[in-house]
């Protein structure tokens, strides 16, 4: 086993190191301690050791394309700058055929996945959301449909009167293969009330993923950090996700999402620090011992910090994306997408092996 970079005499950190290396699960107090520690290099190296045991030098990415059928939304979450009201300037709701035409203009042969999210638009019926997927599936059957957040699925149950299971079954019949991870924000009902997260509550979010897993679906999950939540809130969020993973084994990856300010001109004091972003990735890797992958999302933290994160526990750099809109509707200053060659360069620059994957982490090509 490698030696830690930074020498220390802190008994609590030494105990955590011993637990991690011995395969013992970390608890709430351990996670909060790690967040409060200034020993970023030790935390990072420990997370790197865990990741190396799980994934070796391989880092995964996918050629994908982000699609947004509508930005009209009934919810008014405090952190969102993407949503619009029906009839407001800039509001849109695309038909399935309009989205097909958009994709035909922008897609290239390597795209393997459509990443589909949007607003909770109650001006259209549930059938609209079903038909949207069906149109894409009929025209691009070779592309995996990763669509809708758990919050959107919960919204669909309310506008349709169907159960979670019935909603998922209809969407799967239209071509849905997996759910996106969004809508989790922070899994605390107190946080959700303060931040006006007027959509699925904690139990509803978890129940959607639980139901999807019981139907045989593999899904993604996230955490949006950097606003009013405490570090203990973040660890409790991870513990709830970890408990569900113990129960179902249905999550493929955990994606920490760094909160973006609502103004692109916001100063650095309105953004998460690089230390906070790296620490969150590393702590996620250490707490979520039953997850194979932690994703470093370059849209939120930037390509360079994503590269560094590959030494702090991350094993996935997402994908090409092709014009991300939600984070950029807020204050993201990062590229709206990267090419395959840029992702390969990014991973190799960190001394790792890029692996092109499909949605379900089956390896397509290894770039030695």
Binding residues for [4Fe-4S] cluster, by number, are 73, 77, 80
Q: Number of helices (H) and strands (E), helices first, in the chain?
A: 15, 11
How many other C-beta atoms are found inside a 10 Å radius of the C-beta of residue 292? Answer: 16
Burial class, 246, CB count within 10 angstroms (exposed 0-12 / middle 13-18 / buried 19+): exposed
State the distance between the two ends of the chain, measured CA to CA, in whole angstroms: 25
d(CA 40, CA 365): 33
How many other C-beta atoms are found inside a 10 Å radius of the C-beta of residue 143? Answer: 21
Q: Under a CB-based contact definition with an 8 Å cutoff, are residues 191 and 197 in contact?
A: yes
- Cα–Cα distances in Å, from 87 out to 14, 96, 102, 268? 58, 20, 22, 34
Q: Tokens in use for 47?
A: 């997370």
**Binding-site residue set:** 73, 77, 80
């Amino acid at each position: 086993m490698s030696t830690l970079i930074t020498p220390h005499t802190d008994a609590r950190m030494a105990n955590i190191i011993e637990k991690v290396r011995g395969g013992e699960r970390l608890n709430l107090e351990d996670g909060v301690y790690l967040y409060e520690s200034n020993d970023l290099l030790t935390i990072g190296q420990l997370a790197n050791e865990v990741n190396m045991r799980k994934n070796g030098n391989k880092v995964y990415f996918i050629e994908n394309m982000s699609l947004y059928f509508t930005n009209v939304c009934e919810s008014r979450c405090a952190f969102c700058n993407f949503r619009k009201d029906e009839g407001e300037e800039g509001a849109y709701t695309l038909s399935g055929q309009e989205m097909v035409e958009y994709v035909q203009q922008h897609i290239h042969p390597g795209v393997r996945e459509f990443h589909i999210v949007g607003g909770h638009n109650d001006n259209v019926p549930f059938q609209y959301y079903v038909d949207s997927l069906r149109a894409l599936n009929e025209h691009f059957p070779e592309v995996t449909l990763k669509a809708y957040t758990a919050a959107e699925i919960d919204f669909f149950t309310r506008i349709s009167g169907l159960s979670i299971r019935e909603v998922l079954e209809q969407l799967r019949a239209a071509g849905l293969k997996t759910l996106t991870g969004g809508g989790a924000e922070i899994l605390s009902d107190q946080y959700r009330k303060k931040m006006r997260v007027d959509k699925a509550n904690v139990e509803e979010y978890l129940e959607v993923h639980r139901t999807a897993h019981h139907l045989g679906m593999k899904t993604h999950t996230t955490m949006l950090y950097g606003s009013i939540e405490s570090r203990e809130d973040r660890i409790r969020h991870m513990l709830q996700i970890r408990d569900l993973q113990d129960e179902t084994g249905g999550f493929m990856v955990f994606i920490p999402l760094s909160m973006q300010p609502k103004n692109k001109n916001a100063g650095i004091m309105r953004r998460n620090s690089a230390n906070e972003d790296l620490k969150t990735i590393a702590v996620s890797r250490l707490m979520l011992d039953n997850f194979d992958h932690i994703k470093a999302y370059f849209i939120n933290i930037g390509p360079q910090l994503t590269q560094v994160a590959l030494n702090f526990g991350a094993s996935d750099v997402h994908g090409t994306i092709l014009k991300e809109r939600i984070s950029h509707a807020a204050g993201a200053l990062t590229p709206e997408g990267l090419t395959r060659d840029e992702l390969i360069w990014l991973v190799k620059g960190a001394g790792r092996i890029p692996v092109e994957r499909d949605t379900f982490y089956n390896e397509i090509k290894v770039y030695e």
